[in-house]
Amino acid sequence: MIEVRNLSKNYGDRPAIQGLNFSVRKGEVVGFLGPNGAGKSTTMKIITGYMAPSSGEVKVAGFDVFEDPIEVKRRIGYLPESPPVYHDMYVRDYLNFVANLKGVEKNRVKSLVDSALEKTSLTDVRGRLIGNLSKGYKQRVGLAQALVSDPEILVLDEPTVGLDPKQVAEMRQLIRRLKGQHTIILSTHILPEVQASCEKVIIINRGRIVAEDSLDGLARRMSGGGHSVTVRVRRNQDAMAKALGGQLGVVRVANAGNFIEIETDGEEETIERVAGFLVSQGAGLLELRVQSLALEDIFIKLTSSETVLQ
Amino acid sequence: MRAILTLAGKDLRNLLSSPLFYVIAGLCSVLWSYSYMRNLLEFAEQSRVYMQPGMETGMNLQRAVFLAHISQINLLYVFVVPALTMRLLAEEKRLRTYDLLLTSPISATHIALGKFLAGFGAVSVLTLISLIYPLATRLVAEYPMGPLFAAYLGVLLVAGAYVAVGLFASSLTESVLLSVVLGLIFNILLWFLSQGASGSGTMISSVLEYMSLGQHFLNFIMGAVKLNSLVFLLSLIGVFVFLTQRVVESSRWR
């Protein structure tokens, strides 16, 4: 559905993205993950035909974004970082306007507007001025705007940024419901968002792709089945942290405030050894929590080092 | 075409329902009412004098009253039109709704034309208000309609040029304030060009005379629809709409 080849974009002489390659198949929900300033929005803007790249090509549904921008734009619904809503318009009028602008056939405008209102649960506020709606509602109007032409592809740029936790949950639920009806690309710097909604994840850092895989595959490959162990002790935390580094099977130890965070090779014996060591040293073990390496750790690992995996 | 009309319709509705338009229309009517009344009464007074037996009635409503009225409309438009057009593109950029336009399946030409039509529509409404005065005069005096409509065609074309200039100014910046100031400066520059025409018969001054907005406008006011004036004003509109289209298109490349 979407093919990106050697995509680069420079702002002046500052490269925003360099040599991106990835593809998205029909019906997939792809999370585009990266820290702020990694080049997520730039990539999205290029895919939607908003701006041209410095080099490389993007094909959407077989159409080149620069040869046939109109055909590409017809197939994409785009929710930019800040929802592109007119504050002095009514929700319904606004969606009508967008539907007409996107060239929806006249006899389908009404039904598509209604279904967009329905999908985003905006039916109750359809007669209100957008400027008077809360941030969460405005975001939903933005999403309804992306949906209103019933596009094959949805490009959502940080759809939950700036929302309160309840609104975030609602927005994620909404995106999950859209799964299967559209091919979705979702950019975010928030990890649980990817875990909540996506099947595939592309991690981007400083303008380059550092990982591209399914969620499970990524977790498996990156952690090597490792565990992350969090330990709290009563005494000698600093000394214990140092000493734990020498234990067999311990990969990394970090002294983080009230806790010691340990990364292990994933063997249960290692955890047993760590616990035994702390008890035998009389450090006063208060708490020991074991988790398999989470996406968050993988993300930090990938974006803080220069390792590139494809 | 549908994209252009959709865009134009939205912006025109927006303009006509904005407090700004009401303030402008209100202030313009107050000014017009005052000066039109005065000119008309003066004309009536003078024509009574000329009506004395043995006097030639060289008086002409078009020249004596409408000319002043239309010059005043023009003067007001130089300042008022940039205020009406300032938000057309600058505000879209500021509110990030520009993203919506640029990712919709419409071309930069559609955007420029749609925006131009919206601005032109709003100014046309204002022009219709100003047409009430000469039309109402028909209740008390007979005069030929032809020259009046020629003059109003001129007003519409010049107003169209101001709209195109204002739209271009609005496309250059994100700041609404800067947009209105730029539009004003461009409009005044257009009139300064005609000042150069009044020099002695050098080549430059005769070229400037062809490019003089004032000269062409005057033809219309005097009731003459000249082809070169028509072409000049239409091209002026075309050039600035085209420049706007280039600026909109260029945002893809930056």
B44-55, pLDDT tens digit by residue?
Answer: 888 777 766 655
Residues 44-63 of A with CB under 8 A from B: 48-52
Structure tokens at B111: 């955007």
Find the residue in A nearest to B93 (Cα). Answer: A84
DSSP 8-class letter at B65: I
Predicted confidence (pLDDT) per residue in A73-100, tens digit: 999 999 998 899 999 899 999 999 999 9
Q: What is the pLDDT of residue B56?
A: 56
| Residues in B touching A9 (Cβ below 8 Å) | none
Residues 6 or more apart from B136 whose CB is under 8 A from it? none
Q: In angstroms, rounded to a whole number, what is the distance separating the alpha carbons of residues B10 and B2?
A: 12
Predicted confidence (pLDDT) per residue in A8-66, tens digit: 988 888 888 888 898 888 888 898 888 877 888 889 989 998 888 888 889 998 899 88
Q: What is the DSSP string of B93-113?
A: HHTTTHHHHHTSS--HHHHHH
Most confident of A74-88, A155-169, A271-285, B133-147: A74-88
Q: What is the pLDDT of residue A308?
A: 45
Beta strands in chain B (DSSP E): none
Q: How would you label A59-95 residue by residue, b for 16+ Cβ within 10 Å and e otherwise?
A: bbbebebeebbebbbbbbbbbbbbbbbbeebebbbbb
Q: What is the pLDDT of residue B122?
A: 95
Find the residue in A nearest to B4 (Cα). Answer: A101
Partner-chain residue, chosen from B7, B97, B105, that has the shortest CB–CB distance to A84: B97
Between chain A and chain B, how many beta carbons pairs sit less than 8 Å apart? 66
Q: In angstroms, rounded to a whole number, what is the distance separating the alpha carbons of residues B35 and B68?
A: 9
The answer, yes or no, to whether residue B93 has pLDDT greater than 70, is yes
The answer, yes or no, to whether residue B166 has pLDDT greater than 90, is yes
In chain A, % of residues over pLDDT 90: 20
pTM of the model: 0.83
In contact, A50 and B250? CB cutoff 8 Å:
no
Inter-chain touch A84–B99, beta carbons under 8 Å: yes
Inter-chain touch B14–A102, beta carbons under 8 Å: no
| Residues in A touching B97 (Cβ below 8 Å) | 84-86
- For residue B177, with 0-12 CB atoms within 10 Å meaning exposed, 13-18 middle and 19 or more buried, which class applies? exposed
Q: What is the pLDDT of residue A190?
A: 75
Across the beta sheet with A55-60, what order do the strands follow?
Answer: A14-24, A2-11, A55-60, A63-64
Q: Among A184, A234, A224, A218, which residue's Cα sits nearest to residue A295? A: A218
B31 touches chain A (CB under 8 A): no
B222 vs B36 pLDDT, higher one: B36
Q: What is the pLDDT of residue A309?
A: 45
Partner-chain residue, chosen from B2, B97, B253, that has the shortest CB–CB distance to A86: B97
ipTM confidence score: 0.84
Q: How far apart are the first and last CA of chain B?
A: 27
Mean pLDDT of B195-222: 74
Structure tokens at A308: 């590139």
Amino acid A52 reads A
In contact, B249 and B112? CB cutoff 8 Å:
no
